[in-house]
């Protein structure tokens, strides 16, 4: 299974660019002074490549969020079990 970290390694150039964005939590979509958007505009970065990165990142975030939720539910179930005992 691909983790967010693996994904970041595959798209190192985009990560490198994103470090130059004005905001550290930049999503590279609507933010002003975004280095990634600027690179796409200038033709340094392929828009297709960025879209792939963006889509994969969203997927990875969704999966890790789901995993955390499952863990949270497991934890709650365990607590309930312990209370019964």
Binding site for Zn ion (CB under 5 A): 21, 26, 28, 34, 36
CB of 72 to Zn ion, least distance (A): 31
CB of 63 to Zn ion, least distance (A): 23
Complex with Zn ion: residue 55 or 71, whichever CB lies closer:
55
Cβ contact 63:5 at 8 Å: no
Complex with Zn ion: residue 28 or 53, whichever CB lies closer:
28
CB of 22 to Zn ion, least distance (A): 8
Q: In this structure, how many other beta carbons lie within 10 angstroms of the beta carbon of residue 35?
A: 20
Q: Apex CA 41: angle with CA 44 and CA 5, to 5°? A: 60
Complex with Zn ion: residue 31 or 63, whichever CB lies closer:
31
Exposure b/e, 6-30, CB count within 10 A at least 16 = b:
ebeeebebbeebbeebeeeebebee
């Amino acid at each position: 299974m691909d983790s967010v970290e693996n994904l970041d390694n595959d798209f190192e150039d985009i990560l490198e660019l994103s470090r130059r964005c004005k905001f550290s939590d930049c999503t590279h979509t609507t933010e002003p002074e975004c280095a990634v958007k600027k690179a796409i505009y200038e033709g340094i970065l392929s828009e297709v490549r960025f879209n792939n990165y963006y889509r994969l990142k969203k997927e990875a975030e969704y999966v890790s969020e789901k995993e955390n939720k499952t863990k949270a539910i497991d934890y709650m179930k365990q607590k309930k079990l312990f209370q019964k005992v």
